[in-house]
Amino acid sequence: MTTIPLLRQRARPLTPDELSAVPWLPALTPDERDRACHDLIVTETQAGDVICRVGKPANFWFGLVDGLLKMSNDDSQGPVITFTGVAPGGWFGEGTVLKREVYRYNIQALRKSRVAGLPADSFHWLIEHSLGFNRFVMLQLNERLGQFIAAREIDRLTNPEVRVARSLASLVNPLLYPSVGEVLRITQQELAYLVGLSRQRVNEALTSLAAQGVLRVEYGGLRVLDRAALRGYGIH
């Protein structure tokens, strides 16, 4: 497992296609956008690489261009908890960067991924100068709060179908992960890591959800057919 203490060691500028997938850039003025594009960098990670580690300072605000990440506390003294997965288009860690604190969680790549980073000083400059950026971060924080409340509820659930459905609903949230669309590129083993179930139990849950018309299992991923049903699955 490789830690990435300095993103710049593997970094390069974003390509035009990668910049077009950054969801908060359209909210900026031309001058703000020029500064952000100049400061943004991207790096490729391998499965097992750690992007953020418990106790390390938050030097970047990160976003996932492509791949799949896991947020967990597996370096803490308490029981191991997977808080959530991070799907393409998602930006994370804004609360930690805002407070200039150290990380209280790990972010680890579950597969080869491309991770973008905006330096913390650039993040704070945008906070101080950009109304559009502030709106994006405010909405991001609000949506993230709802996600973590849901994650605590999921952690207490014993029904595998409900756990899988609610976890998938989080991963296809269009506000947090706008690049996902209708098809989530994920294997059953990766989903098992995120949900905290065996691959067999995940397979059984997906088979049941597919039979109910909520999703369809396709080669290389899952096609969501009913987002509302996923979000409310198991609520009576």
- What is the per-residue pLDDT across 3-24, written as a single tens digit (0 to 9) for each? 555 456 778 999 999 999 999 9
Distance (Å, whole) CA 30 – CA 155: 43
Both 80 and 180 in a single domain?
no
Average pLDDT, the chain: 88
| Secondary structure of 158-214 in HEC code, one letter for each residue | CCHHHHHHHHHHHHCCCCCCCCCCCEECCCHHHHHHHHCCCHHHHHHHHHHHHHCCC
- Measured over the CA atoms of residue 57, residue 25, residue 38 and residue 65, the dihedral's sign is positive
CATH of the domain at 192: 1.10.10.10
pLDDT band for 154, please (50, 70, 90 cuts).
low
Matching residue, tokens 């703000």: 32
Matching residue, tokens 């952000």: 36
Q: How far apart are the first and last CA of the chain?
A: 43
The pLDDT of residue 57 is 93
Distance (Å, whole) CA 56 – CA 87: 23
Both 120 and 31 in a single domain?
yes
pLDDT band for 77, please (50, 70, 90 cuts).
low
Query: Which of 101, 121, 150 is the C-terminal boundary of a domain?
Result: 150
Matching residue, tokens 């009913």: 226
Both 134 and 173 in a single domain?
no
CB proximity list for 232: less than 8 A, separation 6 or greater: none
Query: Which of 150, 165, 198 is the C-terminal boundary of a domain?
Result: 150
2 assigned to some structural domain: no
41 assigned to some structural domain: yes
Both 112 and 203 in a single domain?
no
Query: Which of 150, 166, 185 is the C-terminal boundary of a domain?
Result: 150
1 assigned to some structural domain: no
For the segment 49-55, the average pLDDT, to the nearest whole number, is 91
Both 134 and 19 in a single domain?
yes
215 assigned to some structural domain: yes
The pLDDT of residue 6 is 47
Number of domains in the chain: 2
Q: Which domain holds residue 212?
A: 157-231
CB proximity list for 10: less than 8 A, separation 6 or greater: 4, 43, 44
Please give the distance of CA 139 from its chain centroid, rounded to a whole number.
Answer: 15
Both 95 and 181 in a single domain?
no
Both 117 and 200 in a single domain?
no
pLDDT band for 79, please (50, 70, 90 cuts).
low
